[in-house]
Amino acid sequence: MRIPLPSRTLRAAIRAALRVWPFYRGCIRVADSALCRRLTSDDELILTTLWRGPKILVQLDDYCGRLIYFSGVVDRRVELLADRLLRPGDSVLDIGGNFGGLALRAARAVGPTSQVHSFEPQPGLAALIRRAADINGYHHLVVHAKALSDRSGTARFYSTGKPWYGLYRPFKPGRSGHRSAGRRVRSVPVRFANAGSEADQDRRREP
């Protein structure tokens, strides 16, 4: 569904305002407001940019995707801290990559002589991070479509959201007392990896 031009103009104006002023709090309330939800289509995947950062792919009907589109950040305080601390040659682990906001920013900061490892168990989101890494030429950003745990294995995660939502849980919605009861349930197979073993492998892979 394509939203009308006046709505796109208003959407762009809100986006510009949130990116001009460096709000440290409150961006998510604006991005997830009823107005901003109305200004985004049901299934729009868009290539945008992070605040003072690289390009990123986001889904606008996901609240985190809207937050990144409108403000350019996931958490401005965390990202400013990362910008201050990360240096070329550093190695970074991003556990729970979502759309890749932190991983992509870290990849730009540390440069191609190091590696950034992003762990995102939801396959749809992991695929978007890989695509964004390719778009930016960040071949040192390694995406692992798996969850970290104290053991290795597989499980199914469940959600009533769409495939790209980062709202999957390791239990099935619809059980007694769960607010998602009666709604359509999606499931996705998720691989688990032992965090200690993954860390050892990453050290061996470092250039």
Residue 204, helix vs strand vs coil? helix
What is the number of helices (H) and of strands (E) in the chain? 8, 8
pTM score: 0.81
Distance CA(63)–CA(28), nearest Å, equals 8
Which residues pair with residue 36 across a beta bridge? none
Backbone angles phi, psi at 158, to 5 degrees: -125, 150
Q: Which domains does the chain have, with CATH numbers?
A: 5-149+193-205 (3.40.50)
pLDDT per residue rounded down to tens, the chain (207 residues): 556 666 888 888 888 888 887 666 667 787 778 888 888 866 789 999 998 889 999 998 888 898 899 989 888 888 888 889 999 999 999 999 999 999 999 999 999 999 999 999 888 899 999 999 999 999 999 999 998 888 888 888 777 666 556 566 666 555 543 444 445 677 778 888 887 776 556 555 555
Instruction: Measure Cα distances from 179 to 114, 157, 169, 172, 176 in Å.
Output: 44, 17, 14, 12, 9
